[in-house]
């Protein structure tokens, strides 16, 4: 392997673009073992940096595809939302240490848990949690740059305490699960919400707008005013597979608008894996 990689790297600087692309493909197939050699080759010849960056990025993405397949395989509607969301983030942050962010989520849950008592109703606990997450910790919707892809990556939502409805809702769900809150994601057309699934009349948390609580009538008003009309199933909980698919669809639209075909291709690859896991006819 050592000799093969070194031989390929010597050819990487070939001025013939077709030859260089063939070499890049072969290096990518060698996997992560190539990475140290790439760093050394760049040190010796800085002109290789653009091609080395492409190879490095592709190697990381191939590894991510395998991780995402493992996360989704055989799960269908029982896909791990937390791991799925963080793996989507790894498409932009390939060296992301997921464990570090899981620890942050655990710490947030531990910090607010003592404020809740066994006698609190589900709605009272939601009020306590909302006060903590949105008022104290300052998580909020990004109104100034809604279509920034950073808003869709869970690690960056945690770092910046800012996101879009679905990414903020995913964080809310992950924390709610740890706190024993009866909350479910609701992929309402045009706006993602969190349903407090205790007893009717149901309430809905709008994470993008500071955690305000909505009633079904508020949701109907939004849907009809936005031109979607209203169907009762619009307010039904979404399975994790559809939540992750919607996150990917958001990114796909952003990358298409920005004309970033390599990122479009990668999001489509993750989407295909997810759809294959969710549709038994494709397995």
Whether 24 and 54 have beta carbons less than 8 Å apart is answered as yes
Q: How far apart are CA 10 and CA 52, in angstroms?
A: 12
pLDDT, tens digit, 9 for 90 and up, residues 136-195: 999 999 999 999 999 999 999 999 999 999 999 999 999 999 999 999 999 999 999 999
pLDDT grade for 10, boundaries at 50, 70 and 90: confident
Q: What is the pLDDT of residues 27-52, one digit of tens each?
A: 888 888 888 888 888 888 888 888 88
**Confidence (pLDDT) at 276:** 86
What strand order describes the sheet that includes 212-215?
Answer: 183-186, 193-196, 203-206, 212-215
What mean pLDDT comes out for the span 266-272? Answer: 96
- ω into residue 201 within 30 of 0, thus cis? yes
Which among 203, 180, 177, 186 is positioned nearest to 123, based on CA atoms? Answer: 203
The pTM of this model reads: 0.91
Higher pLDDT, 115 or 197: 115
pLDDT bucket at 101, cuts 50 / 70 / 90: very high
Q: Length of the chain in residues, anyone?
A: 283
Look at residue 209 in the predicted model and tell me its pLDDT.
Answer: 97
Cα separation, 20 vs 11, whole angstroms: 7
Residue 18: which pLDDT band, with cuts at 50, 70 and 90?
confident
Whole-number Å distance between alpha carbons of 215 and 196: 10
How distant is the alpha carbon of residue 180 from its chain centre? 23
- Bridge pairing between strands 193-196 and 203-206: antiparallel
**Segment 14-22 long-range contacts (CB within 8 Å, at least 24 positions apart):** 20/51
Tokens standing for 98? Answer: 């997921």
Of 95, 134, 101, 87, give the one whose Cα is nearest residue 274: 87
Torsion, Cα 188 209 102 180, to 10 degrees, reads -70
Q: What is the pLDDT of residue 249?
A: 97
Return the structure tokens found at 267.
Answer: 């999001």
Burial 159-194 (b: 16+ CB within 10 A, else e): eebbbbbbbbbbbbbbbbeebebebbbbbbeebbbb
pLDDT of residue 77: 67
DSSP character for 202? Answer: P
All structural domains of the chain with their residue ranges: 2-72, 80-282
For the packed helices 165-179 and 81-90, what is the interaxial angle rounded to 10 degrees? 140
DSSP class of residue 175 equals: H
**Which pLDDT tens digit goes with each residue over 53-98?**
888 889 999 999 999 999 998 766 689 999 999 999 999 999 999 9
| Burial 49-60, CB ≥16 within 10 A → b, else e | eebbebbbebbb
pLDDT at 145: 97
Percent pLDDT > 70 in the chain is 96
161 contacts 176 by C-beta, under 8 angstroms:
no
pLDDT higher than 70, residue 26: yes
Residue 283: the pLDDT is: 47
């Amino acid at each position: 392997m050592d000799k093969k990689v070194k031989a390929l790297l010597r050819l990487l600087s070939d001025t013939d673009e077709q030859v260089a692309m063939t070499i890049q493909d072969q290096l990518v197939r060698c996997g992560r073992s190539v990475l140290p050699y790439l760093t050394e080759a760049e040190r010796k010849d800085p002109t290789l940096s653009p091609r080395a960056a492409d190879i490095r990025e592709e190697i990381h993405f191939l590894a991510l595809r395998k991780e995402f397949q493992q996360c989704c395989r055989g799960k269908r509607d029982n896909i791990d939302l937390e791991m799925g969301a963080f793996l989507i983030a790894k498409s932009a942050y390939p060296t992301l240490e997921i464990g570090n962010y899981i620890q942050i989520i655990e710490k947030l849950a531990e910090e607010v848990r003592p404020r809740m008592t066994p006698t609190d109703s589900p709605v009272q606990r939601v009020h306590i949690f909302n006060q903590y997450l949105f008022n104290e910790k300052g998580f909020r919707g990004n109104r100034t740059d809604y279509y920034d892809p950073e808003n869709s990556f869970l690690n960056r939502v945690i770092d910046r305490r800012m996101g879009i409805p679905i990414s903020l809702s995913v964080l809310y769900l992950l924390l709610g699960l740890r706190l024993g809150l009866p909350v479910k994601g609701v992929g309402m057309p045009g706006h993602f919400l969190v349903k407090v699934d205790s007893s009717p009349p149901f309430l809905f948390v709008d994470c993008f707008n500071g955690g305000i609580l909505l009633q079904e009538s508020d949701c109907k008003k939004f849907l009809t005013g936005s031109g979607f009309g209203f169907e009762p199933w619009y307010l039904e909980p979404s399975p994790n597979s559809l939540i992750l698919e919607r996150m990917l669809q958001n990114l796909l639209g952003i990358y298409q608008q920005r004309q970033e075909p390599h990122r479009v291709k990668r999001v489509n690859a993750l989407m295909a894996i997810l759809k294959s896991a969710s549709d038994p006819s494709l397995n």
